[in-house]
Amino acid sequence: MPELRLNPRERLVLTAIVELYIATGEPVASQAVARRFAGREGLSSATVRNVMASLGEAGLLEQPHASAGRVPTAAAFRDYVGQIVQPGRMAAGRAAGAAESPLSVERRGRIEESFLGVGSTHEYLERTAHVLAALSRGLGVALASAATEQVLEHIHFSRLATGRVLAVLVTQAGAVQDRVLTLDRELTALELETASRYLNENFRGWPIDRVRAEVARRVEAEREAYRQLLGSVEELCRKGALAGDEAGAALFVDGMANLIGAEQDRERLRQMLLALEAKQRLVELLTAYVDGRQQEVCVVVGLDAATPAMQDLVLIGAPARQGDTNVGTVAVIAPTRIQYQETIEAVSYIARLSARLLELPGA
């Protein structure tokens, strides 16, 4: 989105309106903005009203009711975020009396205390979802990267019914995935046990994509010698036991109740939750918006490109890295009325913590 061309007075008024709306959740009246600038020459209530009318015409403010104040639009929030994530441009856009709010040493200490005992990628991501939900009062989300999670630790097969088998896959990142497989031919309990033992003994520590390829190669190379054993393994793999797709991604979510408490419109809330409850939708959101190669926090205001029900949500996310390896994505999904700077800094800090935490043995 191109930068809005606002003069200094428009920038001051717009920033004040956004911050007042974030603080109160109520439409902002010109008198409230004028009080914020009390004593500043040229910013009377009448002047503020004129500026607000201009901002409304520019699509930055809307008036929910005829007699009410103004509410920032998604475009206004995007402009506000642009001032935060580019510190060199922020000073001109901040309202009088508004202070920077970097994470204090005390707050950083409390965050680090929340991660005590974490020794693996799985634990780090699970704890991150909980900590971000508590800090932001939004939805804390953490997604393991495909490279991290798709390494085989253990697999087990259980027969459910004729032609149906439960596959339980554990990755070295600690993620547990289960799938019900529908087979073309019946496999006995002994065949299932033999197949799982073969995979665990031969392929523990292998990337799952390589396991599937190697099993197919061995079937061709050793078809006669191992025809019955590898035939069973091939059938299970072909039917998705080692699918390793995004739907099976290790995803951690915490704080859904925060969204329930933050939204008054019950029908919009219901639609929003339906959109977020689909695990695949969250995986798609994080994958689409947060680039694992980037270094900075990504902020997306208005997720209606994903689904209209998410138009009033913001995503703040960042990749978590260990050296040059992307271990996952950490993020907050919350209503647009959120404390942006504090949340952006918290997401960034927790993402950077991964490099230190995951140097521990067993990571």
Question: What is the reported pLDDT for 146?
Answer: 64
* Type of residue at 351: A
Q: Are 351 and 125 in contact (CB under 8 A)?
A: no
Per-residue pLDDT tens over the stretch 269-285? 666 666 666 666 777 77
The pLDDT mean for the chain works out to: 78
Integer Cα distance of 294 and 291 in angstroms: 6
Per-residue pLDDT tens over the stretch 174-232? 667 778 888 888 888 888 888 888 899 988 888 877 887 888 777 676 655 555 555 66
Distance of CA 210 to CAs 11, 176, 223, 307, Å? 55, 19, 19, 35
Which residues does residue 143 pair with via DSSP β-bridges, in sequence order? Answer: 251, 329
Which domains does the chain possess?
8-93 (1.10.10.10), 105-145+249-357 (3.30.450.40), 151-243 (3.30.390)
Question: What is the reported pLDDT for 13?
Answer: 92
Integer Cα distance of 255 and 333 in angstroms: 10
Phi, psi of 300 (to 5 degrees): -125, 115
Residue 172 in this model has a pLDDT that exceeds 80: no
Q: Are 262 and 137 in contact (CB under 8 A)?
A: yes
Can you say whether residue 157 is alpha, beta or left, with left for phi > 0 and alpha for psi between -120 and 50 degrees?
beta
Q: Are 3 and 75 in contact (CB under 8 A)?
A: no
Rounded to two decimals, what is the model's pTM? 0.67
Greater model confidence, 107 or 306 = 107
Mean pLDDT value across residues 66-79: 86
- Give long-range contacts, CB 8 A cutoff, 24+ apart: 340-343: 340/22, 340/80, 340/81, 340/84, 340/299, 340/314, 340/316, 341/84, 341/100, 341/101, 341/102, 342/101, 342/103, 342/135, 343/135, 343/136, 343/138, 343/316
Question: What is the reported pLDDT for 77?
Answer: 92
Mean pLDDT value across residues 114-124: 84
Mean pLDDT value across residues 76-103: 60
Q: Are 208 and 152 in contact (CB under 8 A)?
A: yes
Question: What is the reported pLDDT for 89?
Answer: 41
Task: Return the percentage of the chain with pLDDT > 70, whole number.
Answer: 73
